[in-house]
Chain A
Amino acid sequence: MAINLLIVDDSSVMRSMIVKALRMSGIDLGAIHQAGNGKEGLDRLDEHGIDLAIVDINMPVMNGEEMIDCMRSRSDTSQIPVIVISTEGSEARIERLKEKGARFIHKPFTPERIRDVINELVGRQNA
Chain B
Amino acid sequence: MPERLNEILYRVAEEILESLAFLFPVLDEERKKTSNVFVWGASISFVGPFSGRLVILASETILPDLVKNMLGLDAGEEVSLAQQHDALMELLSIVCGNVLPVVAGKKAMFNLDVPKILSSEEYDTLMKKQDPVSQVTLELENGQADFILFIEEGTLSLNSLPLA
Contacts and interface: CB of A to CB of B under 8 A. Distances in A.
> Are A and B a genuine interacting pair, yes or no?
yes
Given A10-B114, A17-B71, A20-B72, A87 B83 contact: no
A88 B16 contact: no
A16 B96 CA distance: 21
Contact of B114 (A13, A60, A93): A60
B67 A87 contact: no
B136 interface: no
A92 B110 CA distance: 11
B70 interface: yes
B98 A12 contact: no
Contacts of B100: 89
Interface in A62-114: 86-93, 107-108
Interface stretch (B87-95, B121-129, B137-145, B147-155): B87-95
Contacts of B86: 11-13
B111 to A, nearest CB: 8
Nearest to A19: B71
Given A13-B71, A20-B72, A108-B16, A87 B93 contact: yes
Nearest to B106: A91
B19 interface: yes
A109 B67 CA distance: 16
* Contact-size category for B: 20 to 34
A90 B109 contact: yes
The number of chain A residues touching the other chain, given as a range, is 20 to 34
A86 B110 CA distance: 13
Quick one: which of B19, B89, B109 has the most chain A CB within 10 A? B109
B158 interface: no
A117 interface: no
B94 A89 contact: no
Given A13-B87, A58-B112, A108-B20, A87 B70 contact: no
B67 A93 contact: no
B32 interface: no
Q: Which of A10, A20, A90, A91 has the most CB of B within 10 A?
A: A90
Contact of A108 (B83, B89, B94, B114): B94
B114 A59 contact: yes
Interface of A: 10-14, 16-17, 20, 58-60, 86-93, 107-108
Lowest 10 CB-CB distances: which A-B pairs, in order? A87-B97, A89-B101, A90-B109, A11-B90, A108-B20, A13-B86, A13-B87, A108-B19, A91-B106, A107-B94
